[in-house]
Amino acid sequence: MLDSRLIAFVSLALCAAGCRTVPMTGRSQLMLSSSDSENSLGATAYSEYKQKSPPAKNAAQQQLLQRVGKAIAEASGETSFEWEFNVLQSDVVNAFCLPGGKVAVYTGIMPKFSNEAELACVVAHEVGHAIARHGGERQSWSYLQAAGSLGISLWGNDTAQTIYGIGSEYGVMLPYSRKHESEADLIGLYLMAKAGYDPHAAVSFWKRFGGGNSSVLDELMSTHPCDETRVADLSSHMAEAEKIYSKCASKRGLGVTLVNGIPQ
């Protein structure tokens, strides 16, 4: 089984080959994939999503997302992305940011936001995944997983291969997915504050849709598990977020109010 010491050792050894520092959190991450290839895949996938769910016709919704997206993108300082923001027509309760800054918010999630800052909270979380290149990091670990599995299969021991497979999935991949969610929450919190949105809106949003209410946001929650720990983590970083918010020259507070997904 892969234990945390082995993971730490492997990470350290591989950092010589490919390592990157995550913006805003300073975490060191394994990175064996190139941002160019990730961004190109992101752009292709985004076109496919737009074909499947075309941009929504409500101009006020689109303008709102442009404003929020531009503010979050500027706060991220990521200038190599070709940012794009679209509200897409679909009942699916979800939002995402693909590598390269391709952001989509489905009309299905819009009614869940009571104000602009809550929309900013979700957009900033998704942008957090993209600027931290979580997809590339998971891809890097799966290269290793495949290489390790191939090595063991050449060695010719089926049991060892099974144990390796289970160990690498549960020892590396799953904890990484949880780590990525917490990191996207933290980056998202700082980004929304830097963009001038009241960071407390993040706590009120996740409190409302977390835990017992998670069925309300089924699609989003299936990839973004929400629980009391998440709210507690956000609250524990609120002092830092408030500091960032206080330095913002053009504060937007909670922004405009939304009723049934439509900005008022």
Q: Copy the structure tokens of residue 9.
A: 């050792």
Residue with smallest beta-carbon separation from Zn ion: 224
Q: Provide φ and ψ at 89, rounded to 5°.
A: -75, 105
Q: At CA 183, angle to CA 232 and CA 140, rounded to 5?
A: 150
- Cα–Cα distance between 264 and 243 in angstroms, integer? 29
Site for Zn ion contains 226 (CB under 5 A):
no
Q: How far is the CB of 73 from Zn ion (least distance, A)?
A: 17
Task: Specify the residue, 118 or 181, whose C-beta has the smaller distance to Zn ion.
Answer: 181
Query: 89 exposed, middle or buried (CB, 10 Å; 0-12, 13-18, 19+)?
Result: middle
Which range, of 153-161, 175-183, 187-195, 252-260, touches Zn ion by CB under 5 A? 175-183
Cα-only R_g, the chain? 19
Is 23 or 165 the residue whose CB approaches Zn ion more closely? 23
Residue 124 Cβ vs Zn ion, minimum distance, rounded to whole Å: 11
Phi-psi region of 243 (alpha: psi -120 to 50; beta: other; left: phi over 0): alpha
Q: Which is nearer to Zn ion, 162 or 223 (CB)?
A: 223
Single-letter residue type at 132: A
Residue 109 within binding range of Zn ion, rule CB under 5 A: no
Q: Residue 46 burial (CB < 10 Å; 0-12/13-18/19+)?
A: buried
Binding test (CB under 5 A) with Zn ion, winner from 184, 186, 193, 231: 184
| H or E element, residue 251 | none
Q: What are phi and psi of 31, to 5 degrees?
A: -140, 100
Distances (CA, A) of 45 to 104, 119, 135: 11, 23, 13
CB of 128 to Zn ion, least distance (A): 8
In angstroms, give the least distance from the CB of 202 to Zn ion: 13
Closest distance of CB 129 from Zn ion, Å: 5
| Catalytic-residue membership of 228 | no
224 is an interface residue for Zn ion by CB under 5 A: yes
Tell me, by CB under 5 A, how many residues bind Zn ion.
3
Q: Which of 116, 126, 181, 183 is catalytic?
A: 126
Judged by beta carbon, residue 152 or residue 184, the one nearer Zn ion is 184
Given the complex with Zn ion, which of 137 and 181 has the nearer CB atom?
Answer: 181
Catalytic annotation, residues: 126
User: Using CB under 5 A as the criterion, which residues of the chain lie in contact with Zn ion when the complex forms?
Assistant: 181, 184, 224
